[in-house]
Amino acid sequence: MEELMLSESEYRLMDVIWKYAPIESGKLVKVCETELNWKKSTMYTILRKLIAKQMVQNTDSLVSVLIPRDQVQMFESRRVVKRTFGGSLPSFLLSFLDNQSLSDSEADELIKIIEEYRKEK
């Protein structure tokens, strides 16, 4: 799944595309100029890379998403946990919380998620 690994620039453009897609490429240039302060050439260079990775398509100047945001986020999250925390979700959570308190509703939500994903004994 290396194809889901995005550079910072690729992710920034994908973020814009996910937000506005489907979008005409000319409008995408204007949005990138406004939101990312990018030149037209920069946007098209990064867009070509995303097309090569089959993240988006540009058909008849209409840019549309091929890979949804949640799929990329899942890949990135798993990669970070594996690389930085040796695959340990508890270590990741402890680092993420960094001595912060959870509200009762946040704690309840996490407990509910854990219970849903707990393996059957």
- The domain limits of the chain are 2-69
Task: Note the helical H segments in 21-117.
Answer: 25-35, 40-52, 69-85, 89-97, 104-117
Q: How far is CA 116 from the centre of its chain?
A: 24
Architecture of domain 2-69: Orthogonal Bundle (1.10)
Question: What pLDDT, on the 0 to 100 scale, is given for residue 4?
Answer: 82
Sign of CA dihedral 17, 20, 25, 30: negative
**Average pLDDT of span 86-100:** 87
Global model pTM greater than 0.85: no
pLDDT tens-digit profile of 26-79?
999 999 999 999 999 999 999 999 999 999 999 999 999 999 999 999 998 888
Taking the C-alpha atoms of residue 63 and residue 115, their distance in angstroms, rounded to an integer, is 40
Question: What pLDDT, on the 0 to 100 scale, is given for residue 2?
Answer: 59
